[in-house]
Structure 1
Amino acid sequence: MKKLLKINGLLFVSALFLIFLLPINAFAATPGEIDTGDTTWIIVATALVLFMHVPGLALFYGGLVSERNVVSTLMHSFVSLLIVSVVWVLWGYSLSYGTSIGGFIGGLDYVGFKGVGPEAYGSLMIPHYLFAVLQIVYVAITVAIISSGIAGRISFKAWILFTILWPTVVYAPMAHMVWGGGLLAQLGELDFAGGTVVHITSGVAALVAAIMIGPRRAYSLEQKPHNVVLFLFGAATLWFGWFGFNGGSALASGGLTALVVLNTHVAGAAAGIGWLIIEWIIRKRPTLVGTATGAIAGLVAITPAAGFVSVPSALIIGFIGAPVCYFSIYFLKARLKYDDTLDAFGVHGLAGIWGAIATGLFASKAINPAGNDGVFYGNPEQLLHQLTGVGVAIVLTVVGTFVILKVISLFTPLRVSEKEELVGLDLSFHDEPAYNTESKMILKKYEIR
């Protein structure tokens, strides 16, 4: 019996020894196979981005608008999720990731999700189904961001048409050029999680729409957030979801994903501190809305660089994002007199541009061999690639958004009537006030029955 126990003990020790001699990934799935760890993480990341959109972004914007347009603002975010999801299944995904046509847009390989199945996608170890649904939640929140620039005055019919056309005409070509193997990918532009594809396009589109539709008639009534508590809950939910947004772009679980999550967090924290300091110095009063907005600016800024830079670089990128966005909101906006309602351009557009440029400065192949070295690591050419990506994103978005809104205006007015706008869209269109206090006073004032 003792001899048998001794033999079993030797076999057990030998097995442990052999296990530790093997590489840590010896039993991992090989390329072309499904890895359960990667699959689980991307499912979680997809859910995080969905939660980031609704309720996160919806409450973030809903808390910032006046009491008269809360439901309308929430509706814009929610409806964009519904419509864009269907558009993406029918044709949007194929135009982004189908066989390249001239490097500008994808073909019709995946129309109606034809050919999208449970098998591993390319060299990844996650199902093609899962990669496709992750892209759905990315494009849906991108469209929702645009609504913040024109909140309280865009016609709901016009918004529905916009959510169909914009991801088709603007987002799909941009996603293909950067992530689908198109021209910018071939050039070498780096965009880990959507600096150019998501944030620059949404911010610039919001600016174009705000200028074309015009400023709010009730601007004086819209200066302060109606509910800072809702706003902060939305901001915190956005931060929470951003771990999935950026971390999911690693398309696997592992060391790089962990770095991305860490970079995301510290960049948001650094930018929040930066905004607090600036506001305290300039305005003499640090505010919760300002500090949380600064944190969001940092999260935007790190998005394109998250998987290509070190943690100290992420701190710098986030911290600088605060003054970039603060200047845009409180100086550039005032000088140029455009009415970007909730500062989509000031936060997403400008921080996205800074983040894309910063990627060209701080990227390092030592961090991610799949990327490239930036200016500070001996490769100034990478900055040119990043600037090219920024330029393409801006031009495509300006032209595409302008054309889309002009076409929509041929079929339906872009904005609501003066009376509807002054009453607020919650009552005048949805007949669904978020609260009952101010709504009753408005009804009495305008004698709406």
Structure 2
Amino acid sequence: MINQANTLFVFLASVLVFFMTPGLAFFYGGMVSKKNVVNTMISVFMITGLAIILFIAFGYNLAFGKDVAGILGLSKSFFLNGFDLKAIYSKETGITLLTYLMFQMMFSIITPALFVGAIVGRMNFKFLIVFVVIWSTLIYYPMVHMVWTPSGILAKTGVLDFAGGTVVHINAGITALILSVFVGPRIGFDSKSEIKHYNLPWVLLGTSILWIGWYGFNVGSALTISDVATQAFLTTTVATGTSFVVWMFLDMFIKGKTTMIGLRTGALCGLVGITPAAGYVTVAGAFAIGAICTLASYSFIHFVKPKIKLDDPLDAFGCHGISGIVGSLLTGLFATKIVNSHIENGLFYGGGFHLINAQLIGTIFTIGFVGIATSMIVFLLKKIIPIRVTREDELMGLDLAEHGERADYGVDFDLEK
């Protein structure tokens, strides 16, 4: 029997998750230099079409098809042929397979878009397109299967990932790190210098869209209108508000001033950190996760990153990778049956070390699997397609070199510059 209320709930959540990708385009596009705005926004937004085709062609099969060794799904169907989309996905939620498929499709769009922030201004656009196809096929869909299907090897170990701490954020964050290393630093890169951002109001707009869309991401993962969904809404809000404020005060006391880029980074850390735990922790747990994830990401971005001279311009790894890892581990400490009766208690709620061990194993496995697989894909693919644009194109800017367009002509009336 179809539950119409839950179906509408998941539909709305799916729209919100989809809205995150154009929001991310503004988010990233506002932060890059003026000559790379169009390329950055296209690199993010083109994934909407690409990921949709991949998901319906074979992606859903690989993620949710018949289990193969707990690593991926497999089905002979192509373009969803053979799937009864009107069938009930689960009796508990009362939503159809089609409804669940649409929700998961939106996750497959936003996830690869996240690592674009690590390679802006220097990656060959053709390489990025092919990489996204291969990466989605060999890494993203198997990660979904391993974590979010009952037969997945990580699910069987007891890993908790409410809305994508491992599947989305650690996955995208580690990929961003590997890509930034392979593509190399920008010409004239100085770890102490800052990008001259194109449009800070776009950054605020993008941050706001992402925060709003994240409610679809986290709350929608409950798949039902329930106490767990309401709790996920609250914990998402509290963690993000906490991280936002913690980053603001860190900037004030350490750097002497609060910046728009700092505020957006702080908010993102809370959103990322609470994602694996949103439907499992109390408000106190959400507060702690928001604060701790922010401290971890802030420390990496401002103290570790300059020392290792990592050129991750928009901190895709610093936010998604670091806060994703920390948030996943903290889930093992703060998860509680008080919030969700379907799970076991974390360490701080009398559950012992079993859950924190499961989170540690899941996190380490994700880092290793994604790191090795991504490295192999890049190593082989760059032998066929150049990973980086030419020096001349990079100096010109990828907007003109790759696309023959410039960002908003209304902002700059001197078109010859």
Which sits farther off after the overlay, 211-220 or 267-276? 211-220
Matches within 5 A, 1:269-418: 269-378=241-350, 379-418=352-391
- Which residue identity is paired with 2:167? V
Task: Indicate which of 98, 121, 134 corresponds to 1:165.
Answer: 134
User: Is it true that 1:232 corresponds to 2:204 in the alignment?
Assistant: yes
- CA change 1:222–1:441 in 2 (3 A) is farther
Matches within 5 A, 1:182-197: 182-197=152-167
Aligned to 1:78: 45
Q: Secondary structure at the match of 1:219?
A: coil
Q: Matched residues in 2 for 1:296 and 1:177: separation?
A: 26
Q: Matched residues in 1 for 2:61 and 2:313: separation?
A: 33
Q: Matched residues in 2 for 1:289 and 1:342: separation?
A: 9
1:443 deviation in Å?
5.8
Q: Matched residues in 1 for 2:171 and 2:210: separation?
A: 19
Aligned to 1:26: none
Q: Which runs of 5+ in 1 are unaligned?
A: 1-32, 445-449
Which sits farther off after the overlay, 254-263 or 42-51? 254-263
- Which residue identity is paired with 2:397? G
Q: Matched residues in 2 for 1:57 and 1:63: separation?
A: 10
Q: Matched residues in 1 for 2:176 and 2:395: separation?
A: 21
1:288 deviation in Å?
2.0
Aligned to 1:426: 399
Q: Matched residues in 2 for 1:322 and 1:277: separation?
A: 11
Aligned to 1:142: 111
- Which residue identity is paired with 2:353? P
- CA change 1:143–1:116 in 2 (3 A) is farther
Aligned to 1:119: 87
- Which residue identity is paired with 2:73? G
Which sits farther off after the overlay, 222-231 or 352-361? 222-231
Aligned to 2:98: 129
- Which residue identity is paired with 1:359? T
Q: Matched residues in 2 for 1:385 and 1:237: separation?
A: 33
- CA change 1:152–1:439 in 2 (3 A) is farther
| 8 Å Cα contact 1:150/1:340 also seen in 2 | yes
| 8 Å Cα contact 1:148/1:342 also seen in 2 | yes
Q: Matched residues in 2 for 1:122 and 1:438: separation?
A: 51
- CA change 1:407–1:222 in 2 (3 A) is farther
| 8 Å Cα contact 2:231/2:339 also seen in 1 | no
Q: Matched residues in 1 for 2:219 and 2:78: separation?
A: 28
- CA change 1:394–1:110 in 2 (3 A) is farther
Q: Which of structures 1 and 2 has the bigger CA Rg?
A: 1
| 8 Å Cα contact 2:88/2:97 also seen in 1 | yes
Aligned to 1:17: none
Q: Secondary structure at the match of 1:352?
A: helix
Q: Matched residues in 2 for 1:130 and 1:294: separation?
A: 33
Aligned to 2:56: 89
1:85 deviation in Å?
1.0
Aligned to 1:11: none
- Which residue identity is paired with 2:174? V
Matches within 5 A, 1:49-64: 49-54=17-22, 56-64=23-31
Q: Matched residues in 1 for 2:84 and 2:353: separation?
A: 39
Q: Secondary structure at the match of 2:321?
A: helix
| 8 Å Cα contact 1:218/1:422 also seen in 2 | no
Q: Matched residues in 1 for 2:413 and 2:372: separation?
A: 42
Instruction: For residues 421-447 of structure 1, give each alpha carbon's deviation from its aligned partner in whole angstroms, at most 9, with x where no partner exists.
Output: 111111111011004499898966xxx
- Which residue identity is paired with 2:252? W
Aligned to 1:107: 74
Q: Percent identity?
A: 39
Q: How many residues align?
A: 411
Q: Secondary structure at the match of 1:118?
A: coil
- Which residue identity is paired with 2:11? I
Q: TM-score, normalised by structure 2?
A: 0.95
Which sits farther off after the overlay, 221-230 or 396-405? 221-230
- Which residue identity is paired with 1:160? I
| 8 Å Cα contact 1:60/1:231 also seen in 2 | yes
Q: Matched residues in 1 for 2:86 and 2:312: separation?
A: 42
- Which residue identity is paired with 2:25? A
- Which residue identity is paired with 2:88? A
Which sits farther off after the overlay, 115-124 or 176-185? 115-124
1:146 deviation in Å?
1.0
Aligned to 1:4: none
Q: Secondary structure at the match of 1:373?
A: coil
1:312 deviation in Å?
1.4
Q: TM-score, normalised by structure 1?
A: 0.89
Aligned to 2:176: 206
Q: Which runs of 5+ in 2 are unaligned?
A: none
Aligned to 2:147: 178
- Which residue identity is paired with 1:166? W
RMSD: 1.7
Q: Matched residues in 1 for 2:214 and 2:198: separation?
A: 25
1:222 deviation in Å?
6.0
| 8 Å Cα contact 1:45/1:248 also seen in 2 | yes
- Which residue identity is paired with 1:214? G
Q: Secondary structure at the match of 1:106?
A: strand
- CA change 1:391–1:109 in 2 (3 A) is farther
Q: Matched residues in 1 for 2:377 and 2:84: separation?
A: 29
- CA change 1:47–1:208 in 2 (3 A) is same
- CA change 1:415–1:132 in 2 (3 A) is same
